[in-house]
């Protein structure tokens, strides 16, 4: 069981779900796109049972958390600011920071920004590549001038929102299946025109993937029916601003003990193969593990494995 609280921090209302003993060591679980706090349901129970104080926020733009309209309200420093302010509010001085997908990006940056308070860090599915020499969005535009790429599609406010919000259960089924190990084809980019829509060429299977129960699926759908997709998509519209606002982090390494988990069938792994290979040069104490027969939704597809690795890692490093 979790308790949900609204924290008034960083000029927003941040919805956070808590579980475990109040005097337990704090473990933050940061979700990605298009997901919600409930994507950590299996980890929340396991971590709480092990005596940790679990904090699972609905990230900025999602669910019951505020969703500011301006695009620039979603750069990575601001997103980290939400968690930093929540840690201040809760009196957290030593935490474990764990993230998946976009939540992993926030977790990696939290480790850089808070080297004293973030004792250990774990990222799932999205590796840490450091600050690029120029904004990643510029490189994407060069490489995908005439081909579809989901991130480029997300750049124009309103267009992707209209598609994804037209039938939210269908959107969630297609994205979940499309990035699962059992899915058919990669939904991130493909052999279609640059001006195509994201999911038009996908066939709706009509049911969630096997790893996501109907009850869990309903929580995901409710999240986006409440908040829509504008806030979550705005995360993707800040690559240039992220690059500008992280200038002082250029060349910085993550010194804390770190754990990186990814599925062997995760399309992000193919897209970020070079980054994964160079990650030990940026995180000297990183442990990396690849899960077999697993797609992008690692904590849902392989919950027992994720829990085993997380608990063992925390037992060794989060003292």
For residue 296, indicate whether it is catalytic: yes
Q: Supply 296's token pair.
A: 């992008």
For residue 199, give every residue at least 6 positions away whose Cβ sits within 8 Å of its Cβ, in sequence order, or none. 163, 164, 170, 171, 174, 175, 187
Q: Supply 266's token pair.
A: 């995760």
Question: Could you tell me if 84 and 114 are in contact, meaning their C-beta atoms sit under 8 angstroms apart?
Answer: yes
Of these residues, 17, 149, 177, 296, which one is catalytic? 296
Of these residues, 75, 101, 109, 266, which one is catalytic? 101
Q: Which stretch of DSSP H or E encloses residue 298?
A: helix 298-301
Q: Supply 249's token pair.
A: 């982090």
For residue 121, give every residue at least 6 positions away whose Cβ sits within 8 Å of its Cβ, in sequence order, or none. 96, 97, 98, 107, 108, 110, 111, 254, 256, 257, 258, 259
305 φψ region: left (φ > 0), alpha (ψ -120 to 50), beta (else): alpha
- Which residue, among 21, 18, 30, has the nearest Cα to 96 in the 3D structure? 30
- Which residue, among 242, 203, 278, 195, has the nearest Cα to 71 in the 3D structure? 242
For residue 195, indicate whether it is catalytic: no
Mind telling me the catalytic residues? Answer: 101, 296
């Amino acid at each position: 069981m979790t308790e949900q609280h609204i924290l008034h921090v960083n000029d927003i209302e941040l919805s956070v779900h808590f579980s475990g003993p109040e005097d337990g060591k704090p473990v933050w679980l940061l979700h990605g796109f298009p997901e919600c706090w409930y994507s950590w349901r299996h980890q929340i129970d396991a971590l709480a049972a092990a005596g940790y104080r679990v904090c699972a926020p609905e990230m900025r733009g999602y669910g019951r958390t505020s969703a500011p309209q301006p695009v620039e309200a979603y750069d990575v420093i601001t997103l980290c600011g939400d968690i930093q302010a929540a840690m201040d509010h809760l009196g957290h001085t030593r935490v474990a920071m764990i993230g998946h997908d976009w939540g992993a990006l926030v977790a990696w940056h939290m480790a850089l920004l808070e080297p004293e308070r973030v004792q250990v860090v774990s990222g799932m599915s999205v590796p840490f590549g450091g600050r690029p020499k120029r904004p990643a969005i510029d490189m994407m535009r060069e490489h995908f001038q005439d081909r579809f790429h989901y991130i480029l599609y997300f750049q124009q406010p309103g267009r992707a929102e209209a598609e994804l919000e037209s039938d939210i259960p269908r959107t969630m089924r297609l994205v979940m299946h499309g990035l699962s190990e059992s899915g058919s084809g990669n939904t991130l980019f493909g052999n279609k025109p640059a001006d195509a829509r994201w999911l038009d060429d996908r066939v709706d299977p009509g049911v969630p993937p096997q790893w996501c129960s109907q009850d869990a699926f309903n929580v995901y759908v409710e999240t986006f029916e409440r908040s829509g997709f504008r806030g979550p998509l705005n995360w993707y519209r800040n690559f240039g601003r992220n690059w500008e606002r992280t200038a002082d982090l250029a060349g910085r390494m993550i010194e804390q003990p770190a754990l990186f988990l990814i599925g062997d069938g995760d399309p992000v792994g193919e897209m970020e193969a070079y980054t994964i290979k160079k990650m030990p040069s940026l995180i000297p104490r990183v442990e990396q593990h690849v899960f077999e027969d697993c797609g992008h939704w690692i904590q849902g597809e392989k919950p027992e494995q994720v829990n085993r690795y997380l608990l063992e890692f925390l037992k060794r490093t989060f003292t």
